[in-house]
Amino acid sequence: MPPKGKNAGDVDIGDVIPENAVSVDEGDRLRFAKQILLCIFLTCLAVFAAHAYWDKNEALTQIFEFLKIGALPLITLVISFYFPNSATKA
């Protein structure tokens, strides 16, 4: 019978990976976030430009709508998380 609160297939991550095996400092995380945002931004620009050029392409129109509705709010959420308003740090 498995221990209470655990399933037979559960694995404790501390048993598999040592506690200090992976460490990423804040500067590296910020650099990684900036790189991801840059890639998303360039992808959005490319799709927007392609949509402006080939506005009759239905697949491109759907990708444009997906980016407009889904990706842009996600980008603003990530930016607001990494770069909060300095007035709220009082």
**Mean pLDDT score, 61-82:** 83
Instruction: DSSP letter for 20, please.
Output: T
pTM (two decimals): 0.57
Buried b (16+ CB within 10 A) or exposed e, 41-59: eeebeebeeebeeeeeeee
User: Among 6-10, 47-51, 68-72, where is mean pLDDT lowest?
Assistant: 6-10
**Mean pLDDT score, 56-70:** 89
Higher pLDDT, 90 or 45: 45
pLDDT above 60: residue 1: no
